[in-house]
Amino acid sequence: MTARSCPLAYTPDPDRSEQLAARGDSAPTLHELAPADADLYRQQMEQLKETNRFATSAHVYSDDEYAGMRLFVTDDGRSGIALKDDEIVSVFSHRDSNHPRAANSMLETAVTAGERRLDCFDTALPEIYARSGFVPVARLKWNDDYAPEGWDYRTYAPFNGGRPDVVFMAHNPASVDSTYQRGSGRYVDSYDDGTDAVRAHLRQ
């Protein structure tokens, strides 16, 4: 991945970087891509879906949509995170990245940039996000009609028989390094209700 321009770089807090390193996590500097490089970010997301069988749960946006977001990548371009309005989306990391286990550092960089919410399927992801202080606020039951393209129920069988809930999470600084409690968060009737619940929680 060769970016045409990387206008800004964000270095994680040194003390936190040491804590992450002690448990085997990377804490790389992230480089913010210019909107003109949105296609490069989209390509990385598409490659991930081709090489990681669990990446079918990740939504890939269009170049134009990514161009309207803030996009951050590691120096090798093989890990990244996107900020869409007030939401964290499209977190990715390839197995050949020079910065393994960088998710928590990237998430915490996104929080520093002002992001406070995200959502994901109730697979292994909420456990990762909980370590960066994200707590479940609401959840939405699986609906076969909205299964992502290419979803393999057998691959995801360990997670509610391949039909995991969507979990809506809000950042709580006091919950950094916490443990995710599977099943926590109140059920809502729609995706919009879940988003509204998280925003209301963050306004408290």
Gyration radius from the chain CA atoms: 16
Q: Are residues 108 and 135 in the same domain?
A: no
Residue 197's identity, in one-letter code, is A
> What's the CA gap between 158 and 162, in Å, rounded?
7
- The whole domain housing 199 covers 116-204
Same domain, 136 and 104: no
> Which CATH number characterizes residue 74's domain?
3.40.630
Of 95, 115, 135, the last residue of a domain is 115
Q: What is residue 9's predicted lDDT score, i.e. its pLDDT? A: 82
The mean pLDDT values, 10 residues at a time, for the chain of 204 residues are 62 92 95 95 95 92 98 96 96 95 96 95 97 98 95 96 98 96 96 98 95
Query: What's the mean pLDDT when you consider all of the chain?
Result: 94
Same domain assignment for residues 2 and 82: yes
**66 and 5 in one domain?**
yes
Asked whether 55 and 149 are in contact (CB, 8 A), the reply is no
State how many domains the chain has: 2
Asked whether the beta carbons of 76 and 131 are under 8 A apart, the reply is no
The identity of residue 41, as a single letter, is Y
Beta bridge partners of 139: 167, 187
pLDDT on residue 4: 54
pLDDT, tens only, 74-112: 999 999 999 999 999 999 999 999 999 999 999 999 999
Strand order in the sheet with 186-187: 8-10, 30-33, 70-73, 79-84, 87-93, 117-121, 166-176, 132-140, 186-187
Q: What is the pLDDT of residue 73?
A: 96
Determine the residue type at 159: F
- Asked if residue 147 and residue 90 are part of one domain, the reply reads no
Q: Based on the domain organization, do 100 and 133 belong to the same domain?
A: no
